[in-house]
């Protein structure tokens, strides 16, 4: 079992839709979770991070962690064509150094 | 603030040839990472440097890959000889201190195609 699993999609939605992106993780010791956004032919950039359980909101984006089910979610409200990108969930490895990434979910928002 | 610079952006080589990639991290960042991102996959760590010392190279195929970070600033990653399965984007990232929660800033990557 991979440490971080993510459905690669692709996911296509119309502009204005609510988008839900999800990951699962296997190690209950993981406590810090990140969402990176990667535009085509660019490097990933940090979008949001959350600690442990609960929600974190930043504008149209909400990150949620459910530790009981080892489930990480990113919600995008009022999606825009500029949100079209690959979204990667990540968590630090057990040594607390580098990141373990999911496969990424490719999102396309059409106008 | 300038971001992480990488060159070249694209490289096409024949298998068994050698290739080198260069990375210049954000000024003042102590930690530098090299990741390999195969098409349709998330980035996978190859090697992590703290200043000019290696912190983690457990996933670096050391029979063909090597990396160095001179004077704790720029870094080069080399593949010799290249295999078809090395076709990927090689991403360099840097962070201020290097802890797991420290934000990593990625460069645009070098896209390698091995024929």
Contacts of B106 in chain A (CB under 8 A): 43-45
CB contact A24 to B (< 8 Å): no
Tokens standing for residue A18:
């609510």
Interchain contact A18–B (C-beta under 8 A): no
Contact B36, B44 (CB under 8 A): yes
Residue range B28-58, pLDDT digits in tens: 999 999 999 999 999 999 999 998 899 999 9
Partner-chain contact A101 B103, CB within 8 Å:
no
Is B46:B112 a contact under the CB 8 Å cutoff?
no
Q: A97 in contact with B at a CB cutoff of 8 Å?
A: yes
- pLDDT, tens digit, 9 for 90 and up, residues A33-57: 999 999 999 999 999 999 877 789 9
Q: Minimal CA–CA distance to B81: which of B19, B21, B20, B16?
A: B16
Q: Is residue A103 within 8 angstroms of chain B, CB to CB?
A: yes
Burial (CB count <10 Å: 0-12, 13-18, 19+), residue B21: buried
Q: What is the pLDDT of residue B1?
A: 65
Per residue, the 3-state secondary structure of A67-100, as one string, reads CCCCEEEEEECCCCHHHCEEEEEEEECCCCCCEE
Mapping DSSP onto H, E and C, the string for chain B reads CCCCEEECCEEEECCCCCEEEEEECCCCCCEEEEEEECCCCCCEEEEEEECCEEEECCCCCCCCEEEEEHHHCCEEEEECCCCHHHCEEEEEEEECCCCCCCCCEECCCEEEEEC
Is residue A98 within 8 angstroms of chain B, CB to CB?
A: yes
3-state secondary structure of A33: strand
Peptide bond into B96 cis (omega under 30): no
The pLDDT tens digits of the residues spanning A63-92 come to: 999 988 999 999 999 999 999 999 999 999
pLDDT interval class at A93 (50, 70, 90): confident
Q: Cis peptide before B81, with omega less than 30 degrees from 0?
A: yes
Residue B106's nearest CA partner among A98, A20, A67, A31 is A98
Residue A1 is predicted with a pLDDT of: 65
CB contacts of A101 in chain B (<8 Å) are 42-44
pLDDT for A52 equals 75
Q: Which residues pair with B22 in a beta bridge?
A: B7, B76
Q: B96 near B82, Cβ under 8 Å?
A: no
Burial-class residue A52 by CB neighbours within 10 Å (0-12, 13-18, 19+): exposed
Nearest to B94 by CA among A17, A88, A46: A46
Q: Out of B41, B100, B106, whose CB is closest to A96?
A: B100
Q: d(Cα A54, Cα A76) in Å, to the nearest integer?
A: 16
Residue B101's pLDDT is 82
């Amino acid at each position: 079992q991979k440490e971080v699993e993510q459905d690669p999609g692709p996911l296509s939605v119309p502009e204005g839709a609510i988008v839900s992106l999800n990951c699962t993780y296997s190690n209950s010791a993981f406590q810090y979770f990140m969402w990176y956004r990667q535009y085509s032919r660019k490097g990933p950039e940090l979008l949001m991070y959350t600690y442990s359980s609960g929600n974190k909101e930043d504008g149209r984006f909400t990150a949620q962690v459910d530790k009981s089910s080892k489930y990480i979610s990113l919600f995008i409200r009022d999606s825009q064509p500029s949100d079209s990108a690959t979204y990667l969930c990540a968590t630090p490895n057990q040594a607390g150094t580098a990141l373990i990434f999911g496969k990424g979910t490719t999102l396309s928002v059409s106008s | 603030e300038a971001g992480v610079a990488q060159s070249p952006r694209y490289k096409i080589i024949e298998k068994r040839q050698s290739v080198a990639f260069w990375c210049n991290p954000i000024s003042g960042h102590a930690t530098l990472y090299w990741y390999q991102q195969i098409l349709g996959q998330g980035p996978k760590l190859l090697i992590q440097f703290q200043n000019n010392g290696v912190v983690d190279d457990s996933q670096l195929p050391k029979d063909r890959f090597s990396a160095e970070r001179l004077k704790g600033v720029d870094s080069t990653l080399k593949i010799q000889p290249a295999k078809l399965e090395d076709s990927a984007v090689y991403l360099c990232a840097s962070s201020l201190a290097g802890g797991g929660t420290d934000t990593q800033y990625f460069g645009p990557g070098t896209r390698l195609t091995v024929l």
